[in-house]
Amino acid sequence: MTAGTVRIIRLVHQWSSLISTVFLLLLCLTGLPLIFHHEIDEWLGYAPQAKPVLERGGKATVNEIARAALAHAPGKVLQYLAWDRDAPGLVIAYTNHAVDGPPDDAVLTAFNIADTSAAGPVGTGPMLILLKLHTDMYVGLAGKLYLGGMGLLFLIAIVSGVVLYWPFTRRLDFGSLRRNASRRVLWLDWHNLIGITTLVWAIVVGGTGVINSWAELMLMRWQATELAGMVAPYAGMPRPSQLASLDQVVTNARAAAPAMEIAFLAFPGTPFTSSHHFAAFMRGDQPLTSRLLKPVLLDGVTGEVTGAAELPIYLKALFVSQPLHFGDYAGLPLKIIWAVLDLFTIVVIGSGLYLWIARTRRRPQRAAMVPGRRA
């Protein structure tokens, strides 16, 4: 590698890192507590608790849950019903002022399947504030795409840093820390060591973060292509004035996707389906397959299945990347590892900023030492 090539790559690494530094620190600092958002919500009392289901009482039907949700939110309509695999005793109802109302206007409430009583709101408290800062900085799609751009710069900084690692450390043993050198050199050694140690994790988290920032665009593409093709025979039909029985809809969806369970049910007119159909998104029962959803479309009037298809690869990548981004796959041990690596990344970002500041301060000193140069 020539000296000129090394210099270009160093400039790419330097400026891709500097431009994204503030936002990367924001993402790392907000992402750290979000890794433990389930645990923190429970500790702070924001996680709804399910009542035990008594065998003699049985479980409430889906129709009963829906009626309870509408009674709990007068004047609102149902957009979705969701079944959280980590809280089997609850069903989460999404209500909004309109069936196509903005997601930020939706109110999420958990209901007990034991007696249809409201167990409490979902997605409230300090974790919601951190999540909004982490995902879109409270400016919607533009914020998501901007943070996605910062994520791409982060990946460029990682790749360029790896390319630079060999030329700058080829004369040193791996993990060498030159403790007798200047503070700047010692921090450079720490920066390189922690950076190369957290390399794989940084690429995984950075890459999944970029994918997550494109979620709305991916959904819009799916609606305009695969979903549009599935509902083409019903194009132009209005939303049914009388919807099919939700119990029958759920039963038919389960029959259409054996060995799968329902993750959430989208009502006609919502972004996940057409104006005439229910869409039941089914999931597997394993840690990985539970993230891979299969949509089943059902007629809004009769509840009969009208189509089922696998999601395109880009949506599968999205659904897999969302929990992976926060280490939400293997319980608390993986979350702890994610948190430690997040802290290491904060050190890498901070040390990189310190090295740049120290370098810029040295330039005037070097210039003053050049013979014959005037101050």
In a domain, 330, yes or no: no
Considering the domain architecture, whether residues 107 and 57 belong to the same structural domain is answered as: yes
Q: What gap in Å lies between CA 115 and CA 28, rounded to an integer?
A: 41
Considering the domain architecture, whether residues 112 and 247 belong to the same structural domain is answered as: no
112: its two tokens:
């007990």
Q: Mean pLDDT throughout 257-275? A: 91
pLDDT higher than 80, residue 361: no
Considering the domain architecture, whether residues 34 and 140 belong to the same structural domain is answered as: yes
- Any idea how long the chain is? 375
In a domain, 129, yes or no: no
> Which domain range does residue 252 map to?
214-325
Give per-residue pLDDT as tens, 146-205: 999 999 999 999 998 888 876 666 666 666 777 777 778 788 888 888 888 889 999 999
In this structure, are residues 81 and 91 in contact, taking their beta carbons and an 8 Å threshold?
yes
Considering the domain architecture, whether residues 35 and 141 belong to the same structural domain is answered as: yes
Considering the domain architecture, whether residues 320 and 228 belong to the same structural domain is answered as: yes
Q: What gap in Å lies between CA 121 and CA 294, rounded to an integer?
A: 27
In a domain, 219, yes or no: yes
In this structure, are residues 130 and 139 in contact, taking their beta carbons and an 8 Å threshold?
no
Considering the domain architecture, whether residues 62 and 88 belong to the same structural domain is answered as: yes
Considering the domain architecture, whether residues 230 and 292 belong to the same structural domain is answered as: yes
Considering the domain architecture, whether residues 202 and 290 belong to the same structural domain is answered as: no
In this prediction the pTM is: 0.84
Q: Measured in whole angstroms, how far is the alpha carbon of residue 203 from the centre of its chain?
A: 15
Give per-residue pLDDT as tens, 63-107: 999 999 999 999 999 999 999 888 889 999 999 999 999 888 999
Considering the domain architecture, whether residues 22 and 142 belong to the same structural domain is answered as: yes
In a domain, 375, yes or no: no
Q: What is the pLDDT of residue 55?
A: 59
- How many domains does the chain divide into? 3
Considering the domain architecture, whether residues 232 and 95 belong to the same structural domain is answered as: no
Q: Mean pLDDT throughout 2-29? A: 88
Phi, psi values for residue 307, rounded to 5°: 175, 155
Query: What DSSP assignment string belongs to 90-150?
Result: EEEEEEESSTT--GGG-EEEEEETTT--EEEESS-SHHHHHHHHHHTTTSTHHHHHHHHHH
Domain boundary among 122, 155, 183: 122
Considering the domain architecture, whether residues 208 and 218 belong to the same structural domain is answered as: no
Considering the domain architecture, whether residues 100 and 56 belong to the same structural domain is answered as: yes
Domain boundary among 83, 102, 122: 122
In a domain, 205, yes or no: yes
CB-neighbour burial class of residue 247 (10 A; exposed 0-12, middle 13-18, buried 19+): middle
